[in-house]
Homo-oligomer: A and B are copies of this chain.
Amino acid sequence: MKIIKGNFIFSKTSDTLEYLKDYYLILKKNKIIEFRDKIEDIQEEYTLYDYERKMIIPSFYDMHLHAPQYKMKGLGMDKELIDWLNDYTFKEESKFSDFKYSEKIYDDFCRELIKQGTFNIVVYSTIHKDTTEILFNKLKEYGINAYVGKVNMDRNSPNFLQENTINSIKETEELIIEHKDDPQVKPIITPRFAPTSSAKLLKELGELAIKYNIPVQSHLSENPGEVEWVKNLYPKSPNYSTVYYENNLFGQTKTLMAHCIYVSDEGKKLMKDNKIIAVHCPSSNLNLSSGMMKVREFLDLGIDIYLGSDIGAGDTLSMREIIKLTIQISKLVFRNNSHKPISLEEAFYMATKAPGVFFDKKESFEKGKELNALVIDDEYFDLDLKERLSKFIYNGDDRNIYARYLNSKLL
């Protein structure tokens, strides 16, 4: 038995936090048993990990990001989406036909995730099956819980980064069969976005999703130019969301849609009715001039919001930064549209608790689950826990992460 002592902070509801000052967390066989305010009456043998006045918070979830873009984050930031894809991203992703390069970047990527305290991710690789395997294996090696999506794209991309439709489906199915029963790193169906998938590819990916009950991720309404393009490519679909919906890629299995800045009212209704989760990526939305997602509007409609770093368009893997940006951008939406800003409590919930259900484990310090936690060190002992958490979110960095518990193991 292990007992961990410190100041525990975690989401109680979607907009309130629990603060347990000087509490003890009891771990038995690596599962959370309970929180206690004293341990004098415990008979069993235990090891005490005393973090004294430090804060202990859940680790972060990053629900939309591109592992092969790890190195290029911070580059091409003078472009909008489509130019950024063509001028930078597709070139970088084409390098992932190379084993050695993939091995190096995916290793760097995993190390940075651990450093930043992100232990659960839903990630894109590239079109390359073989090096997608490297990403699966690296994540397993590091202990990171993940869904990995081999990207599918069979049109509107350069020849060096385009698949044959039949092969794309075949390789995707092979990866699904190989990884679907893994308890830690699983597959997810990942058409890059409607413009780079033929109707046939979308249709067959939807069939795979249903056949194996595999979740789906893609991009939706990120940029005005992209929305216009989709309208031209799919003139018969009433809106962008319908393109995915008609192909069984929109809620028929669990579905994540990133960005959702320019979703029409009908599109939002389709999201709501089909329990689509919108992934908000504020760093990326700034860097590619995409615009401001109206997070409050989605919440008010009852659509769940998770957060994503979206590297390489986003410039950081720090979900602390993404929480901060979520709050900040919501204040501009407030100024423009009078929507109530997103509170720290709400953004914290989106990054540390809400996505638990997607992983079939609610990991924010719940009984019976493994512990994924960060021990946060600071110097502000004269402030209360609410203020100390605010200072970590606004002023902190990875140097404040004193210790990490990943699937109950102290790293």
Contacts and interface: CB of A to CB of B under 8 A. Distances in A.
Contacts of A291: 332, 335
A169 interface: no
Contacts of A99: none
Interface of A: 73-75, 77-78, 286-292, 315-316, 324, 327-329, 331-332, 334-336, 341, 343-344, 383, 387, 390-391, 393-395, 397
A122 B353 CA distance: 42
A395 B288 CA distance: 16
A288 B331 CA distance: 8
Contacts of A332: 286, 289, 291-292, 332
B331 A289 contact: yes
A393 to B, nearest CB: 7
A315 B394 contact: yes
How many protomers of this protein does the assembly include? Answer: 2
B74 A393 contact: yes
A405 to B, nearest CB: 25
A101 to B, nearest CB: 11
Most buried by B among A73, A332, A341, A387: A332
A74 B289 contact: no
B336 A336 contact: yes
7 contacts: A77-B327, A77-B394, A286-B328, A289-B332, A289-B334, A292-B335, A315-B394
B394 A78 contact: no
Given A74-B391, A75-B391, A336-B336, 7 more contacts: A73-B391, A75-B387, A77-B344, A78-B343, A291-B332, A315-B324, A315-B394
Given A289-B335, A292-B332, A334-B289, A395 B327 contact: no
Contact of A395 (B73, B341, B383, B390): B73
Contacts of A292: 332, 335
A391 B73 CA distance: 7
Contacts of A344: 77-78
Contacts of A74: 390-391, 393-395
A397 B74 CA distance: 13
B78 A315 contact: no
Nearest to A396: B74
Contacts of A329: 286
Contacts of A77: 327, 344, 390, 394
Contacts of A286: 328-329, 331-332
Contacts of A328: 286-287
Nearest to A389: B74
A74 to B, nearest CB: 3
A328 to B, nearest CB: 4
Given A316-B395, A336-B336, A390 B75 contact: yes
Nearest to A71: B380
Contacts of A390: 74-75, 77
Contacts of A78: 341, 343-344
Contacts of A397: 397
Contacts of A289: 331-332, 334-335, 341
A290 to B, nearest CB: 8
Contacts of A387: 75
Contacts of A393: 74
A350 to B, nearest CB: 16
